Amino acid sequence: MTESEAAFRWIDDQSELQELVAELVSHPAIGWDTEFHRERSYYPHLALVQVAWPNGIALIDPLALDLTPLATVLERTVSVLHADQDIAILERSCGAAPAVLFDTQVAAGFLGMSSPSLAALVERFAGVRLAKGHRLADWAHRPLSEGECRYAANDVAHLLHLHERLTTKLEEKGRLTWALAECETLLARDRSYQDPDRAWWRMKDSRALRGDSRNIAQTVAAWRERRAERLDIPPRFVLSDMALANIAQRKPTRPADLDGIRGLDRRQIGGAADELLAAVREGLSLEPEALRLPVTDEGERGQRAGVTLASAWVAQLGRDLGIDPALLATRSDVVGFLRGSPSTRLANGWRAELVGEPVRKLVSGEAALAFDGENLVLEDRAPARADRSDGGAGRVGR
């Protein structure tokens, strides 16, 4: 098994980019990848775009170019990517999201591979081992070394081959339409950044907060999120989670109240202390209906047994079909389905018949799970019948 040595073109001239676009749009599918950094920023900072087409590979320098001409390629061809994190970055940098997506990681999931890495897919379907030496490179420095460029080129070198092989395998199993539908779902997702009013859900131990502390956590975390976005820095650079949790508990309303709050660096918030305190006061006056609660076990408690059983069966179904169970249904999918949410994945498309209907029968008592010594089996239950020996009082599930 050999390591890949992909040839490439370096593009850092606007006229060369225009010529490349004219070449790319003549092909039905294009492979894409990006290299970016976001360790010290709110938004990911794009440092390199890699594209592959049947005749070659190009490395495009976003630090030197206006990337909006690439929108034409995204809108006119099938975009082959591995994992969907590149979609938002391309949309933000090029001004367009892919019109048609083929995600190789999603496609592989329908063949039983659970969130496989690109390297794993390339090794399995192309017999090539991808080098890992430059995985943590600083992609924003210039010039990039020959080794860094080859590493970046290798990340797209096999995408079109994977597209072809995975498509063939999915067609053989009758699952291509499922995979393409899932890719369409990825494109339809809201790719806007964190909803400020839900930012407090990411706090450690957020579910342990009660009363006014939850209100304050919501409003202060929302303030932190908006300030981080405005300054283009990570939210933790504005206010640590420890400080946020302690502020929610101590409820400071005056500048002096901020003294001694563990985790709070007054130098970090700078001249924004008044904004922070205003956010605390906003939380103290927050109306109950304005509190955005995370999806917790609160609405699940009455159905916890059903959710657990359904999740166990979904895992078994994934093993039986050779499909990543997370593609069939997540626990939150099951919870939403049992709550009657019309937008849940189990109520629509191919999942409705394959997963949704069996789950409905299971939690309604029309079916039951049995263990045959090796696997869980979903079995139809006979309708409840009146028991003549106890005066006609029927018993269900005995």
pLDDT of residue 300: 53
Closest CA to 280 of 253, 250, 246, 241: 253
Q: What is the CATH number of domain 301-390?
A: 1.10.150
Residue that is written with structure tokens 């304050």 in the block: 216
pLDDT of residue 382: 66
The DSSP code for 2 is E
- Cα–Cα distances (Å) from 368 to 37, 161, 357, 394, in that order, read 49, 43, 13, 18
Looking at per-residue confidence, does 268 or 328 come out higher? 328
Angstrom distance (rounded) from CA 334 to CA 306: 9
Which CATH entry fits the domain spanning 2-188: 3.20.20.450, 3.30.420.10, 3.40.50.720, 1.10.4160.10? 3.30.420.10
pLDDT > 80? residue 349: yes
Which CATH architecture describes the domain 196-290? Answer: Orthogonal Bundle (1.10)
Name the amino acid, one letter, at 53.
W
DSSP-based three-state secondary structure for 35: strand
Measure the CA dihedral 72/73/77/83, to 10°.
-120
Those residues whose C-beta lies under 8 Å from the C-beta of residue 271, and which sit 6 or more positions away, are none
Angstrom distance (rounded) from CA 217 to CA 186: 30
Q: Give the predicted TM-score (pTM) of the model.
A: 0.86
pLDDT > 90? residue 398: no
Equal CATH topology for 196-290 and 301-390: yes
pLDDT > 70? residue 181: yes
Give the distance between the most distant pair of CA atoms in the chain: 89
Backbone angles phi, psi at 7, to 5 degrees: -80, 155
Closest CA to 59 of 137, 164, 162: 137
Q: Domain locations in the chain?
A: 2-188, 196-290, 301-390
Tell me: the pLDDT tens digits for 355-366? 999 999 999 999
